[in-house]
A = this chain, B = another copy of it.
Amino acid sequence: MQDLSELTQRASELDGNDPIAHIVEEYERPEGWIFFDSNSVGPVPKTARPAANALIDDWIALRRRGWAERDWVDMPAILGDLLSPMIGAEKGTTVVCDNTTINLYKATGHALAVNQERTIILTQKDNFPTDIHVVQGFERANPSLEVRYVETEEEALAALSSDVAVCTFSHVGYKSGQRWNMEKFNRAAQALGVLTIWDVSHSAGAVPVLARESNADYIVGCGYKYLSTGPGGPAFIYVRPDLSEKAWPPVCGWMGHADIYAFAGDYEPHGGIRRFISGTPMVGANQIAHCAAQIYQKFAPKDIWARHESLSNFFIEALQQSCGDLGVEIASPLNYNQRGGHVTFKAPGAGHVVEALIDAKVVSSFRKPDAIRFGLSPVSLTHAQVVEAVGRLQKILKEEIWRDPKYANVSV
Chain A: residues with CB nearer than 8 A to chain B? 28, 30, 35, 37, 40-41, 43-44, 48-49, 52-53, 55-56, 58-61, 63-68, 72, 98-102, 105, 109, 113, 125-130, 132-134, 136-137, 140-141, 222, 224, 230-233, 235, 248-257, 260-261, 263-267, 278-286, 288, 358, 363, 365, 367-368, 411-412
Nearest B residue to A66, CB-CB: B231
Chain B residues within 8 Å of A64, by CB = 37, 40-41, 363, 365
- 7 contacting pairs across A/B (C-beta < 8 A): A102-B102, A105-B278, A134-B253, A137-B249, A137-B250, A235-B280, A263-B368
**Contacting pair A254 B59 (CB below 8 A):** no
Q: Nearest-CB distance from A48 to chain B (Å)? A: 6
Nearest B residue to A100, CB-CB: B279
Q: Considering the chains assembled together, what is the distance between the CA atoms of A63 and B230 in angstroms?
A: 9
Number of copies: 2
Chain B residues within 8 Å of A102, by CB = 98, 102, 251, 253, 278-279
Nearest B residue to A149, CB-CB: B265
Chain B residues within 8 Å of A140, by CB = 248, 252
Q: Considering the chains assembled together, what is the distance between the CA atoms of A257 and B52 in angstroms?
A: 32
Query: Contacts A63-B363, A267-B132 given: A282-B279 contact, CB under 8 Å?
Result: no
Query: Contacts A56-B52, A65-B358, A267-B132 given: A232-B284 contact, CB under 8 Å?
Result: yes
**Contacting pair A264 B129 (CB below 8 A):** yes
Pick the contact of A265: B52, B113, B125 (CB < 8 A): B125
**Contacting pair B63 A35 (CB below 8 A):** yes
Q: For A102, A105, A368, which residue has the most chain B Cβ atoms within 10 angstroms?
A: A102
Chain B residues within 8 Å of A99, by CB = 98, 278-280, 282
Q: Considering the chains assembled together, what is the distance between the CA atoms of A184 and B235 in angstroms?
A: 41
Chain B residues within 8 Å of A128, by CB = 254
Query: Contacts A279-B102, A280-B232, A358-B65 given: A267-B133 contact, CB under 8 Å?
Result: yes
Chain B residues within 8 Å of A367, by CB = 263
**Contacting pair B61 A30 (CB below 8 A):** yes
Chain B residues within 8 Å of A267, by CB = 129, 132-133, 136-137
Q: Nearest-CB distance from A250 to chain B (Å)? A: 6
Pick the contact of A44: B40, B60, B283 (CB < 8 A): B60
Chain B residues within 8 Å of A66, by CB = 41, 231
Chain B residues within 8 Å of A230, by CB = 59, 283-284
Chain B residues within 8 Å of A65, by CB = 37, 358, 363, 411
Q: Nearest-CB distance from A120 to chain B (Å)? A: 18
A52-B56, A105-B278, A232-B281 known; 9 new pairs, CB 8 Å cut-off, are: A44-B56, A63-B363, A101-B254, A102-B251, A126-B265, A129-B254, A137-B248, A231-B284, A263-B367
Chain B residues within 8 Å of A59, by CB = 41, 44, 48, 230-231
Chain B residues within 8 Å of A254, by CB = 101, 128-130, 133
Query: Contacts A64-B365, A99-B279, A411-B68 given: A136-B40 contact, CB under 8 Å?
Result: no
Q: Considering the chains assembled together, what is the distance between the CA atoms of A28 and B133 in angstroms?
A: 42
Query: Contacts A40-B63, A252-B140 given: A257-B129 contact, CB under 8 Å?
Result: yes
